[in-house]
A and B are shown apart, each in its own frame.
Chain A
Amino acid sequence: MKDAPSHFYRRACLRLVLGLLAVWFSVSFGCGILFREWLDAKAPQIGSAPFGFWMAQQGAIICFVILLVVYAVMMNRLDAKHGYTEGQ
C-alpha cells in the first residue's frame, strides 16, 4: 500500500485541503466574526453594506460555493494526474 505514487497523491491532496480550509476559515470566522468591527469600519463597503456584515450574511456563502467548485476541479485534476480517474 505504501507505494510512492499514492504517497505523492496524498501529500498533494492534503495541501489542497489545508489551503481550502484556510480560506474557509478566513472568509467565515475571520471576516464575518473575528475582525468584523474592524472591517465594517475600515474596509470598502459592498454597495451600501458594511464589509464585515456583508461577508457574514452573503459573502461567506458565495465563497463556500466557489471553494467547493475549486475542490472538485482540482481533485479531479489530481486524480487524472495520478491515474485514479474512473469512467464517468
Chain B
Amino acid sequence: MTQDHLNFIFIGISFAIYIGIAIKSRAGSTKEYYTAGGGVSPLANGMATAADWMSAATFISMAGTVALSGYDASRFLMGWTGGFVLLTILMVPYLRKFNKATVPDFVGDRYYSKLARGVAVGCAIFICMTYIMGQMRGVGVVFSQLFGISITSGVIIGGAIVFFYAGLGGMKGITYTQVAQYCVMAFAYTIPAIFIAMALTGNVLPQIGLISDYTAGGEAIPFLEKMNNINTELGFAEYTSGKLSKINMFCITAALMCGTAGLPHVIVRFFTVKNVSAVRKSACWTLLFISVIYLTAPAIGAFARVNLIEKLHDTSYQEAPYWLQEFEETGQMAWIDKNNDGKIQYYGPSKSLAGSHAVFQGKKPSYPNLEATDGQLVGKHGQRLLANKVDTSNPNELWFGNDIMVMANPHMAGLPMWVIALLMAGCIAAALSTAAGLLLVLSTSISHDLMKKILKPDLSDKEEVRYARVASFLALALAVYFGINPPSQFIAKTVAFAFGLAASSFFPTLLMGIFSKRMNREGAIAGMLCGILFTFGYIIYFQFLDGTPDQYLLGITPEGIGFIGMLINFAVAFLVSAFTPAPPQEVQDMVENIHIPSGSGEASHH
C-alpha cells in the first residue's frame, strides 16, 4: 500500500464522519441555524470552538514560525491563547446574558444606534472574509498536493464540501462536525511530536523533551543549549533570545490578545451553550483544548529545526534524504549550489556583510517553464533548478517554506506512513472547521444584522434562514474566487488587518458597553471610527503604499499597531462621552442587568 492510498483512506474516512454528523444534526429552525438551539454541552462547545479557532495556518505554519524565529514567535503563542483569558473574564459571560445571536446585535442595542450597528456589521464581514479567503487557499493547496490536481480544482472541491455542511447544517451541524474535527487535529498534531520527542530526547512528552537533554547525538546536552549552539554557529540569532524590540513585542502580543477577544466568530461560539455558568465552563475547555496544540507547537518547531539542520547541513545533495527531492518537486524547498561543491550549506544572516541569508532574489522560488530544456530543469547533481536570480551576497544555499516544518517532520524523523496520512487529514480538518465557522458568522451577519435589522425589518424567520443560505453561498463563491486568485501577498497581509481591526474596534467598544453605564452612542461611534481609521491608515500606509520601516511609530510594526488603535479608541470614546448626554435610562438598566448572571434564558435572536 502506498502513501497516497493511505492518505485517501484516512481523509475519506474523516470526510464520511463529518458529512454523516452534518446530516444527522442539521438545523431545522433559525434558532438552531444561528446558535444550535442554545443547548450544546460545554465540553462539546469547547472542542468545537478550539477547532474553529485553529485554522490551517495555525496548524501548518505556527511550528515553522517557532522553528525559524525562536523566542520571537512567543508573541503568537501568548497572543492567541492569552486573548481567551480576556474573552472569558471580560466579555462572553455578559454578552451571553444579553442573549442576542450576534455581536453587531449587542453593539446596535447597547448604543441605540443603527450607525453603530452598521459599522459593527461592516467590521464583522471584513474580518470573516479576510480569514475565509486564506482557509480556502489552504484547502486548495492541500487537495492539490494530495490528489495531484490543480489548486483551482482543489479550492472548488473544498468550497463545495464546506457549503454542503455549513450552509445546510447551520450552527448545530457545524458544532458537532467540529467536535470530530478537533479530535482528528489533536491526534494528528501530537502523535508525530511524541515519536520525535522520543527519538531526539528519550522523553515521551514533547513539552518535557523541549526542556531536557538532547540525547540522539551520543552525549547528552541540554536541548535548548544545542539549539542556541546550532543557531549561533550557522549565523542566526540565539534561539532563546530573539530579535524583536521589547516595545514591538509588547504591542504585537497585546494586539493579538485584544484582537482575539474581539473576534466576532469566536464570541458567537459561546452563545450556543445553555447559560452563563456553562459559558465559563465551556471557555475553560476551549482554552485547555487549544493549549494542547499550542504547547506542542514550540516543541515541534525546535525538534524540526534540529532535525532539518542535522540531516541537511553540510550533506552532499546525492546523499540527502528522499524528502528533500519531494519538497523540491512541490516548490517548498530549494537548493542552489552557490559554491559548486555539491554539498548543501545552510547559513544565517550574520554570515554575510549584507545581513541577509536569501538564497535567491524574490520571495518564492520560481521555475523554468515547460518548454525549457532538461539542462535548465535539472542540475548536475539532480537538483531542481530555479528561474530566480541567485543572491550571491551570502553563502546560504537552502531555502524552505514555513509550512514544511509540520508536514516534513514525520518524513524527517522517518515515521510510519499512517502518521503522515493522519497529518494530512488533520490539516484538512483544520481548514474546513475554520472555514465553516466563519462562513456561518458571515452569513448571519448579512441575513440577520444587515437584512433583518437594517434593511428589511419585516423579514420572517423562514425567509431569514433562506437569506442566510443564499448569503453563505455568495460569500463562499467570493472566498473561492479569492482562493483561486489570491491578490498576491494580500491574504498574508490582511491577517494583520483582521486582528488590528478587531482590537481597535470590537474589543474596546464591547468592553465599554459592558462595564461603563455612562458610555453613550456618540462616544462609542467616535471611538470606533478613530480607532479603525488610525489602524487602517497605518497598515495601508506600510503594507500597500511606500512606507519604510524607519518611519514606524516608536518602532511598532503594522502587526502591533492595533494596540495603539485600541488606546486611541478608548481615549476618544471617554472624551466624547464626557461632553455628550448620558444614554437613556433603559440602556443603563440593561447594562446593570447583564451583570446578573441568572435568567439568561435560551439563546434566541429576537
Contacts and interface: CB of A to CB of B under 8 A. Distances in A.
- A contact residues, range: 35 or more
Contact of B74 (A10, A56, A86, A88): A56
Interface in A21-80: 21, 24, 28-29, 32-34, 40, 46-50, 53-54, 56-58, 60-62, 64-65, 67-69, 71-72, 75-76, 79
B298 A29 contact: no
A86 B602 CA distance: 12
A68 B284 contact: yes
Contact of B225 (A48, A62, A69): A48
Nearest to B73: A57
B74 A32 contact: yes
Contact of B211 (A2, A34, A49, A64): A49
Contacts of A46: 211
Nearest to B93: A75
Contacts of B307: none
Interface string B79-91: 0011011101110
Given A40-B240, A60-B78, A65-B288, A47 B597 contact: no
Nearest to B42: A72
Give the most central of A33, A34, A50: most B CB within 10 Å.
A33
A62 B295 contact: yes
Given A57-B298, A62-B291, A33 B246 contact: yes
Contact of B596 (A6, A20, A72): A6
B600 to A, nearest CB: 8
Contacts of A34: 246, 250
B275 interface: yes
A8 interface: no
Nearest to B83: A64
B71 interface: yes
Given A29-B253, A33-B249, A49-B211, A56 B598 contact: no
B277 A85 contact: yes
B284 A69 contact: yes
A70 to B, nearest CB: 10
A17 B595 contact: no
Interface in B279-301: 280-281, 283-284, 287-288, 291, 294-295, 298
Given A24-B82, A53-B71, A79-B277, A65 B284 contact: yes
B224 A48 contact: yes
Given A33-B253, A47-B208, A86-B275, A72 B81 contact: no
Interface in B181-233: 207-208, 210-213, 222-225
Contacts, number: 138
B5 to A, nearest CB: 38
B283 A68 contact: yes
Majority DSSP secondary structure for residues of A touching B: helix
Contacts of B458: none
B593 interface: yes
Contacts of A85: 277, 598
A64 B208 contact: no
A56 B596 contact: no
Interface in B21-51: none
B221 to A, nearest CB: 9
Contact of A65 (B86, B208, B287): B287
Given A48-B213, A56-B78, A61 B224 contact: no
Interface in B80-111: 81-82, 84-86, 88-90, 93
Interface in B574-606: 589, 592-593, 595-600
A56 B225 contact: no
A49 B210 contact: yes
Contacts of B596: 6, 9, 84
Contacts of A65: 284, 287-288, 291
Nearest to B294: A61
B419 interface: no
B267 to A, nearest CB: 16
B595 A10 contact: yes
Contacts of A40: 240
A75 to B, nearest CB: 6
Contacts of B67: none
A28 B83 CA distance: 11
Nearest to A6: B596
B77 interface: yes
Contacts of B84: 64, 68
Contacts of A72: 277, 280-281, 283-284
13 contacts: A6-B592, A13-B595, A21-B85, A33-B249, A47-B211, A48-B212, A53-B74, A56-B77, A56-B78, A57-B77, A58-B298, A84-B597, A88-B277
The 3 closest A-B pairs by CB, nearest first: A47-B211, A48-B222, A56-B74
Given A28-B257, A68-B280, 18 more contacts: A6-B592, A9-B596, A13-B595, A29-B254, A32-B253, A48-B224, A56-B77, A57-B73, A57-B298, A61-B77, A64-B82, A64-B85, A65-B288, A68-B284, A71-B280, A76-B280, A86-B275, A86-B598
